[in-house]
């Protein structure tokens, strides 16, 4: 089952000459659904679904349905298929409920009252098998996609994969580029069309790394490394956030993923190397204290062992809140006002 | 018309076209077997015993959660001592022996109560207490010894799980001993009444169940921990 | 001497909790004054507080639930208004408060709103439907209720003294460990839930034993009403799942209090284990709530359609299938923890399979309506709203069960929409349907229909307006538990949801007004015969309210829908059943054990939270002493003479005979 193309190129959809349900999306992409078998031919330009949700395009507006990467696009297709199938079951049910309630209301003398009709083998057979077959089909999709789109599965590409190490701190994100020997806080710069492999951990409490415009999220947990693979297929800015509640500063734990051309990426790395402070253990210790750092900044001179030390817990964990008398965490005031 | 209907009182009772099995049919309601629940509510003794069994099953589920935590954290020794280094199997054998004997004597006490032999009952319960207390003393000594050796529950996750699992069982035994004394006092002051008999039944179920849990504990924790 | 408790614990410098506790304190003072100075205390003590009657206990559970639902809903209003205001602004609730509010909202709604409501309805109805006099262990029932009330009390005390947890309603480590939550908030949560959890577990044991071992003669398993089957499944789930919660929270308590390393990240602990253990309880919990709600809908839909439940055995099978499958799906709560394709895939499949029996139930209810003669009363309206809205929640559940969909929707507002969709549709609508349906049985008069329908429309409309935008927000990347946000695309949807909560508030007010109006108009709403809805199960064979012994003589059950058969025969023969041979009835004596035990449990909980160790010991000693005193009672029952039983029963028979005559005359 092909859920996303093995070579990431634009391919025009070709319609299989088989029977089945053809769904045409507003942007003209054909999705063929053949019962028991699913083949999806993707086009890159997955424009917004006009289903009346009013999603804004462009800029930094996050949107899952308007994904700018193959992982997200594949996940959207699964969402779409599953939604259509479930709607096909629940909409008739909802209509039938209203119709039955209306037709068989007490004041309707035309309706036939059947007070002893309480069983029908045929209906039971249908009623058990329709949900069961649906679930069988969706279960198949779930099983296969859980393997193909597992966050740890690398994205095939002819470009070299960029390695990024992610550490979630209270309440900011640290992105370490081990091969480029730079690091960045709250700003993730990646070259477009290049697969990025993330290794993620946390300095203290759990968080969850998520860029809605690109695809899957994954937890970050101290003492453990989780893996994620994403790809941004074009240049642009993306909104990133944490999706696992991590304390009082949680709402400010946003970052920007900037997808740029490879030249711009190289230029950024060079400037980070040149002008930035070093990220050694002491600097990391300062960073790990509870704060809401809203200014993206960069570091150079990364200790190559730093990430592993964070994972192995040979650097101290992010300290907890400094308790003031009223129980409020010190130094945590939300952005956007006093 | 009324007569006809009176002769066939079941005429309008909706008969079940998909009747399965040999349970009470329409109009039966006279089955004697309370096991199938068609003879009306069971006797109080059965209800109390059954309810207590359900409670014991829930308690075993709680132990199961502690067992699963132990299984997960078994390898989390954090560079500290492992089970093989710490467990004194002789002590465990002694503890097991005491608990088993106390269970046996508890059974004797139960039989004595049923036969209305007060003295034997009280003696049996006293012995149950003694052996149970001996078990607890050995366990407490083991715990204190471990703490002294720097292998207390805060040393590592494995030790936290060990102390909690074995300690939970010990807490249940302690509560049981308290219950035991209460039952001895009840029988002594109030004699043998139906509700007191039911309570002693529940107590002995509890005590034997603790024994079963102990078998699981020493197998999973001590025996398997010593081999690993 | 007083552990960690100091005067600083009272939030004198924080206006929000101060005002809230002030208002609540005044209300409580007012109610208490009315009770004490109005001379109602002896009656309350004798008839309600010390009662071991399942009907009284059921009503008290429901009252607790309704009060706590209002508290939980006010938390919701705070949350919606904060989010409506907090676009590029800090709003009016700083994070340290907002975090407590959403944690309290979830905790209260689940543990002290939905659970007591459902348990209360089960307590009231199940013995009546089974045709017996009470549950298996009446005094234990009272203890269960009062322990639940203790938990609710502790959570509310956290508003005034100290703080509540700031971790969300499931306190996931490491955030909930002592390092990152050094305050007493998480401790309040832990002890409140532990104590009320004991009560719930006892209630589970009680009802399982009742349903399996105490039924009227002739009532085999397959002749039990559907509500009893779903109650059985729910209580079996309680017995099997709550001990897991007890153990898990105990482990967290040990971590926090004694420095153990179950869930810490150092010394070998495993924080992922908490998620596994918690959700191994957490998923069965939602079925504990939903299954009895399904049972209520079965009763309501079949009664108001004038037809037996369609495919009863299929429904029983579906119920027990849900019971078994409930334990096989828990990992879908953390697909994004990185367990890999195999593990995620297995749990995805099991999570989808559990949708099948639920779907079967929906279709069976649909066909119960088919060929019926439907009366669109308030309970029936709630059921129809459930059927229409719940399928959406179920469908989104199936969507979320696909791991790859969950990878973008986990913990988002889409998830929040999904679980509110299923909980509000099934549990809340079911609870309100049951409340309206069985209210006349409990109190002898019906609730006002007009206000009921008004409350219904506003509540359902409000619910739709609040939660549909949440689905959209989830698809726009918004996550849950945000105290403020800067994304302008989310703003319109959050404002719509804020408006929706106002509509829901109108619905809530209408419910309250309905109750007040119905009490005032109770004579015109009186339920004279005890069967106001033309019911089909045994509770409608008693008077409204039933006498303390429920049935003068236990009814003989001869088929499914025991009461319907009796009624049809009476209608055919134009006379009631023969009078039974009256015998004296033995009923359990009332006992203050539950209340006193709860008092000591409150002491234990409060003392443990604030590290006042001597007080905790006092509480433990007191609780043990209470049980000993209870065990030493000489009199456990009292007898109602046969003459009284006869008199009470004959009064009801007279009203029913009258009603039968009226019906005959109208038909003729």
- Chain C from 124 to 163: CB within 8 A of any B CB: 132, 136-137
Which one, of A121, A145, A161, lies nearest residue A3 by Cα? Answer: A145
Three-state SS annotation for A68-88: CCHHHHHHHHHHHHHHHHHHH
Q: What is the mean pLDDT of residues B115-144?
A: 96
Separation in Å, CA of B153 to nearest CA in chain C: 6
Measured distance CA(C492)–CA(C531) in Å, rounded: 49
Asked if A116 lies within 8 A of B17 by C-beta distance, the reply is no
Interchain contact, A113 vs C408, CB within 8 Å: no
Q: If you write DSSP's letter for every residue of C33-96 in order, what string do you get?
A: HHHHHTT-HHHHIIIIIT---HHHHHHHHHHHHHHHHHHHHHHHHHHHHHHHH-BTS--SS-HH
Query: Could you tell me the fold of the domain covering B44-226?
Result: 1.20.120
Interface contact flag, B57 C239, Cβ < 8 Å? yes
pLDDT band at residue C638 under the 50/70/90 scheme: very high
Q: What share of chain C is helix, strand, coil (3-state, %, to 5)?
A: 70, 0, 25
Q: Which of C137, C52, C132 lies closest to C550, judged by CA?
A: C132
In angstroms, the CA B6 to CA B13 distance is 13
Name which of A224, B166, B142, B160 is nearest C253 in CA terms: B160
The lowest-confidence range among A1-5, A326-330, B106-110, B136-140 is A1-5
- What tens digit of pLDDT does each residue of A18-29 get? 233 333 333 333
Q: Are strands A187-191 and A255-260 parallel, antiparallel or unpaired?
A: parallel
Say if residue C318's pLDDT is above 50. Answer: yes
Q: Catalogue the E-assigned strands of chain A.
A: 21-24, 30-34, 37-39, 162-169, 172-177, 182-185, 187-191, 195-202, 207-210, 218-220, 226-231, 236-242, 255-260, 277-278, 297-300
Report whether C61 contacts C67 (CB < 8 A).
no
Count Cα neighbours of C446 within 13 Å in the Cβ-side half-sphere: 20
The answer to whether A161 and A196 are in contact (CB under 8 A) is yes
Instruction: Name the residue among C175, C348, C489 with its Cβ closest to that of A246.
Output: C175
Among the listed ranges A314-318, C327-331, C403-407, which one has the minimum average pLDDT value? A314-318
Task: Give C-chain residues touching B64 at CB under 8 angstroms.
Answer: 243-244
Contacts of B76 in chain C (CB under 8 A): 261, 267-270
Min Cα separation B27/chain C (Å):
5
**Stated length of chain B:** 228
Residues of chain A by 3-state class (helix, strand, coil), percent to 5: 30, 25, 50
- Kindly state the tokens that stand for C435: 């409340």
The two beta strands, A30-34 and A37-39, are antiparallel
DSSP conformation class of C643: H
| Domain regions of chain B by residue span | 2-34, 44-226
- Chain A positions touching B14 (Cβ under 8 A) are 116, 118
With a cut of 50, say whether residue C394 has pLDDT above it: yes
Q: What is the DSSP string of C402-433?
A: SHHHHHHHTTBHHHHHHHHHHIIIIIIHHHHH
Given this model, what pLDDT does residue B10 score?
40
Smallest Cα–Cα separation from B58: which of C245, C627, C319, C143? C245
What is the model's pLDDT at position A321?
78
CA dist., res. C222 & res. C598, Å (int): 38
Are residues B169 and B200 in contact, defined by beta-carbon separation less than 8 angstroms? Answer: no
Between chains, do C262 and B161 touch, taking CB under 8 Å as contact? yes
Residue found under tokens 């869930």: C263
Contact list, A116 vs chain B (CB under 8 Å): 14
Q: Which of C407, C473, C494 to mutate to test the interface with A (most CBs of A within 10 A)?
A: C407
pLDDT at C15: 84
Cβ within 8 Å of residue C384, ≥6 positions away: A97, A98, A101, C376
What span, in angstroms and rounded, lies between the C-alpha atoms of C364 and C383?
A: 13
**Partner residue facing C353 (CB), from A118, A124, A135:** A135
What is the per-residue pLDDT across C141-169, written as a single tens digit (0 to 9) for each? Answer: 999 999 999 999 999 999 999 999 999 99
Q: What does each C-alpha distance from C485 to A282, C101, C469 come to in angstroms?
A: 32, 17, 16
Which of C143, C255, C553, C559 is the mutation pick for testing B, counting most B CBs within 10 A? C559
pLDDT of residue C64: 97
Within 584-613 of C, beta carbons closer than 8 Å to B belong to: none
Write out pLDDT tens, residues C83-98.
999 999 999 999 989 9
- Structural contact between residues A1 and A144, judged by C-beta atoms closer than 8 angstroms: yes
User: What is the DSSP track for C326-363?
Assistant: GGG-GGGGGGGGT--HHHHHHHHHHHHHTHHHHHHHHH
What per-residue confidence (pLDDT) applies to B8?
40
The partner residue sitting opposite C407, judged by closest CB among A141, A204, A217, is A217
Cα–Cα dist C89/C93, whole Å: 11
Chain B stretch 103-162, residues whose beta carbon is closer than 8 A to a beta carbon of chain C: 153-161
- Tell me, what DSSP letter sits at residue B219? I
User: Where are the strands (E) in B64-145, listed by range?
Assistant: none
What mean pLDDT is reported for chain C? 95
pLDDT digits (tens, 9 = 90+) for B31-47: 444 455 678 888 889 99
Q: Measured between CA atoms, how close is A208 to chain B, in angstroms?
A: 24
Share of chain A above pLDDT 70, in %: 77
- The reported pLDDT for the residue numbered C482 is 95
Q: Where are the alpha helices (DSSP H) in C372-412?
A: 378-400, 403-409
Q: What is the pLDDT of residue C279?
A: 97
Spell A280-314 as b/e; 16+ CB within 10 A means b. Answer: eeebbeebbebbbbeebebbbebbeebbbebbeee
| Of C450, C447, C422, C418, residue with least CA distance to C433 | C447
Measured between CA atoms, how close is B79 to chain A, in angstroms? 14
Helix (H) or strand (E) holding C586: strand C585-588
Q: Which two tokens stand for residue A162?
A: 């960029």
Q: Which residues of chain B are within 8 Å of residue C268 when distances are taken between CB atoms?
A: 73, 75-78, 156-158
Assess C58–B contact: CB distance below 8 Å, yes or no: no
Taking the C-alpha atoms of residue A329 and residue C534, their distance in angstroms, rounded to an integer, is 60
Q: How long is chain C? A: 668
The verdict on a CB contact (< 8 Å) between C136 and B164 is no
CA–CA distance, C242 with B204 (Å, rounded to integer):
24
Q: Cis check for the bond before C174: say yes or no (omega within 30 of 0).
A: yes
Residue carrying structure tokens 């002693």: B200
pLDDT score, position C66: 97
What are the two backbone dihedrals, phi and then psi, of residue A226, each rounded to the nearest 5 degrees?
A: -105, 160
Please indicate whether, in this complex, the C-beta atoms of C13 and A326 are within 8 angstroms of each other: yes
Three-class SS state of C575: coil
pLDDT at B96: 96
What average pLDDT values come out for chain A (338 residues) when binned by 10 residues? Answer: 32 31 35 32 29 36 87 93 95 96 93 91 93 94 95 93 95 93 93 96 95 94 95 93 94 94 94 83 88 82 88 87 52 46
Q: What pLDDT score was predicted for residue B22?
A: 40
pLDDT score, position C21: 86
Q: Provide the 8-state DSSP code for A105.
A: B
Q: Label the pairing between strands A277-278 and A297-300.
A: parallel
pLDDT given at position C456: 98
Query: What does the alpha-carbon distance between residue C237 and residue A155 come to, in Å, rounded to a whole number?
Result: 43
Structure tokens, C358: 């639920």
Residues of B in contact with A119 (CB under 8 A): 17-18
Buried/exposed code over C421-455 (b: 16+ C-beta within 10 A; e: otherwise):
bbbbbbbbbbbbbbbbbbbbbbbbbbbbeebbbbb
- Judge contact between C249 and C187, C-beta under 8 A: no
3-state secondary structure of A32: strand
Distances (CA, A) of B112 to B115, B128, B189, B226: 5, 13, 17, 40
pLDDT in tens, B71-90: 999 999 988 999 899 999 99
Strand-pair partners of C526: C445
* CB neighbour class for A146 (10 Å; exposed up to 12, middle 13-18, buried from 19): buried
Judge: A147–C342 Cβ closer than 8 Å, yes or no. Answer: yes
- The per-residue b/e assignment along C554-566, b for 16 or more CB within 10 angstroms, e otherwise, is bbbbbbbbbbbbb
Tell whether the model's pLDDT for residue C453 goes beyond 80: yes
C220: left (phi > 0), else alpha (psi -120 to 50), else beta? beta
Predicted TM-score (pTM) of this structure: 0.91
C308·B42 Cβ contact <8 A? no
Whether residue B17 lies within 8 A of chain A, CB to CB, comes out as yes
């Amino acid at each position: 089952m092909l859920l996303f193309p093995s070579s990431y190129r634009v391919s025009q959809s070709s319609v299989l000459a088989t029977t089945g349900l053809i769904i045409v999306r507003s942007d003209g992409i054909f999705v063929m659904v053949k019962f028991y078998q699913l083949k999806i031919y993707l086009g890159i330009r997955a424009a917004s679904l006009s289903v009346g949700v009013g999603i804004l395009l462009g800029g930094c507006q996050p949107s899952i349905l308007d994904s700018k990467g193959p992982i997200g696009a594949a996940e959207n297709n699964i969402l779409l298929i599953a939604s259509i199938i479930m709607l096909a079951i629940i909409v008739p049910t909802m209509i039938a409920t209203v119709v039955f309630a209306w037709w068989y209301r007490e004041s309707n003398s035309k309706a036939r009252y059947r007070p002893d009709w309480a069983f029908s083998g045929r209906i039971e057979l249908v009623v058990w098998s329709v949900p069961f077959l649906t679930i069988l089909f969706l279960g198949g999709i779930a099983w296969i996609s859980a393997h193909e789109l597992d966050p740890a599965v690398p994205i095939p590409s002819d470009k070299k994969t960029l390695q990024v190490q992610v550490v979630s701190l209270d309440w900011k994100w640290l992105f370490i580029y081990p091969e480029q020997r730079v690091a960045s806080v709250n700003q993730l710069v990646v070259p477009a069309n290049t697969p990025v492999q993330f290794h993620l951990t946390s300095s203290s409490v759990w968080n969850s790394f998520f860029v809605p415009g690109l695809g899957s999220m994954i937890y970050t947990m101290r003492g453990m490394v989780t893996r994620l693979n994403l790809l941004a297929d074009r240049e642009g800015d993306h909104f990133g956030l944490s999706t696992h509640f991590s304390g009082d500063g949680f709402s400010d734990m946003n970052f920007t993923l900037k997808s740029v051309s490879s030249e711009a990426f190289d230029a950024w790395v060079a400037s980070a190397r040149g002008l930035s402070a070093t990220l050694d253990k002491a600097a990391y210790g300062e960073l790990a204290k509870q704060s809401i750092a809203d200014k993206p900044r960069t570091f150079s001179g990364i200790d190559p062992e730093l990430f592993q030390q964070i994972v192995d817990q040979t650097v101290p964990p992010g300290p907890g809140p400094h308790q003031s008398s009223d129980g409020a965490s010190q130094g945590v005031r939300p952005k956007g006002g006093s | 018309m009324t007569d006809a209907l009176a002769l066939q009182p079941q005429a309008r009772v909706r008969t079940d076209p998909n009747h399965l099995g040999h349970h009470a049919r329409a109009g039966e309601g006279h089955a004697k077997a309370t096991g199938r629940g068609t003879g009306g509510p069971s006797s109080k003794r059965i209800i109390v015993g059954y309810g207590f069994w359900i409670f014991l099953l829930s308690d075993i589920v709680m132990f199961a959660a502690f067992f699963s935590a132990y299984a997960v954290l078994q390898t989390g020794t954090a560079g500290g001592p492992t089970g093989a280094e710490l467990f004194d199997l002789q002590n465990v054998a002694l503890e097991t022996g005491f608990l088993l004997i106390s269970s046996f004597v508890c059974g004797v006490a139960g039989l004595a109560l049923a036969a209305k032999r007060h003295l034997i009952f009280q003696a049996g319960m006293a012995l149950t207490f003694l052996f149970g207390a001996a078990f607890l003393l050995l366990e407490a000594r083991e715990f204190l010894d471990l703490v002294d050796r720097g292998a207390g529950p805060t040393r590592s996750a494995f030790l936290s799980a060990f102390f909690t699992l074995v300690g939970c069982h010990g807490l249940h035994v302690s509560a049981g001993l308290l219950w035991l004394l209460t039952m001895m006092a009840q029988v002594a002051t109030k004699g043998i009444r139906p509700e007191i008999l039911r309570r002693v039944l529940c107590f002995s179920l509890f005590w034997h169940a603790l024994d079963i849990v102990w078998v699981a504990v020493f197998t999973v924790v001590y025996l398997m921990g010593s081999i690993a | 001497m007083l552990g960690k408790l100091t005067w600083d614990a009272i939030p004198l410098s924080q206006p929000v909790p101060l005002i809230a506790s002030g208002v609540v304190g005044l209300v409580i003072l007012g109610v208490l004054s009315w009770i004490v100075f109005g001379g109602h205390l002896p009656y309350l003590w004798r008839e309600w507080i010390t009662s071991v009657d399942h009907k009284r206990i059921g009503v008290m559970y429901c009252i607790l639930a309704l009060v706590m639902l209002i508290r939980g809903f006010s938390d919701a209003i705070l949350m919606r208004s904060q989010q409506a205001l907090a676009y590029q602004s800090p709003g009016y609730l700083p994070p340290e408060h907002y975090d407590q509010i959403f944690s309290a909202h979830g905790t209260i709604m689940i543990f002290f709103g939905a659970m007591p409501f459902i348990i209360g309805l089960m307590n009231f109805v199940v013995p009546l439907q089974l045709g017996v006099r009470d549950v298996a262990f009446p005094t234990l029932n009272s203890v269960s209720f009062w322990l639940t009330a203790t938990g609710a009390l502790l959570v509310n005390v956290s508003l005034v003294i100290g703080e509540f947890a700031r971790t969300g309603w499931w306190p996931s480590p490491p955030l909930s460990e002592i390092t990152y939550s050094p305050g007493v908030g998480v401790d309040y949560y832990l002890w409140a839930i532990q104590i009320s959890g004991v009560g719930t577990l006892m209630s589970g044991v009680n009802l399982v034993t009742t349903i399996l071992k105490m039924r009227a003669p002739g009532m085999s398993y397959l002749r039990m009403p559907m509500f009893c089957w779903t109650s059985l499944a729910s209580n079996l789930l309680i017995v099997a799942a709550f001990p897991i919660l007890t153990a898990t929270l105990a482990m967290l308590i040990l971590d926090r209090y004694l420095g153990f390393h179950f869930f810490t990240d150092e010394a070998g602990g495993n924080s992922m284990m908490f998620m596994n253990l918690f959700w191994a309880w957490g998923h069965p919990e939602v079925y504990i709530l939903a299954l009895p709600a399904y049972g209520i809908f079965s009763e309501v839909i079949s009664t108001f359609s004038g037809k037996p439940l369609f495919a009863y055995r299929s429904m029983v099978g579906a119920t027990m299938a849900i019971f078994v499958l409930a334990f096989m799906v828990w990992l879908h709560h953390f697909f994004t923890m990185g367990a890999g394709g195999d593990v995620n895939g297995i749990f995805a499949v099991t999570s989808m399979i559990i949708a099948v029996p639920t779907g079967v139930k929906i279709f069976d209810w649909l066909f119960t309506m088919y060929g019926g003669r439907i009366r669109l009363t308030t309970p029936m309206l709630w059921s129809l709203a459930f059927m229409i809205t719940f399928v959406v929640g179920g469908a989104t559940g199936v969507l979320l069960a696909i791991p790859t969909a969950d990878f973008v929707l986990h913990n988002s507002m889409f998830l929040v929409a999904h679980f509110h969709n299923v909980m509000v549709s099934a549990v809340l609508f079911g609870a309100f349907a049951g409340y309206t349906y069985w209210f006349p049985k409990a109190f002898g008069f019906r609730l006002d229909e007009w206000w009921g329908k008004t409350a219904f429309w506003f509540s359902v409309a409000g619910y739709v307006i609040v939660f549909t935008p949440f689905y959209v927000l989830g698809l726009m990347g918004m996550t849950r538990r945000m105290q403020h946000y800067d994304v302008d695309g989310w703003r319109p949807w959050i404002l719509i949801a804020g408006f929706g909560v106002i509509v829901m508030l109108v619905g809530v007010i209408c419910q309250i007004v309905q109750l007040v109006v119905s009490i005032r108009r109770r004579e015109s709403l009186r339920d004279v015969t005890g069967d106001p809805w033309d019911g089909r199960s045994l509770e409608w064979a008693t008077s409204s309210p039933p006498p303390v012994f429920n049935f003068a003589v236990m009814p003989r059950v001869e088929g499914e829908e025991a009461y319907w058969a009796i009624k049809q025969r009476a209608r055919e023969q134009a006379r009631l059943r023969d009078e039974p041979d009256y015998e004296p009835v033995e009923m359990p004596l009332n006992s203050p054990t539950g209340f006193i035990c709860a008092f000591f449990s409150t002491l234990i909980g409060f003392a443990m939270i604030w590290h006042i160790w001597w007080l905790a010991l006092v509480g433990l000693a007191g609780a043990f002493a209470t049980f000993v005193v209870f065990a030493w009672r000489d009199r456990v029952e009292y007898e109602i003479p046969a003459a009284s039983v006869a008199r009470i029963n004959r009064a009801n028979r007279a009203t029913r005979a009258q009603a039968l005559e009226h019906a005959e005359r109208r038909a003729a």
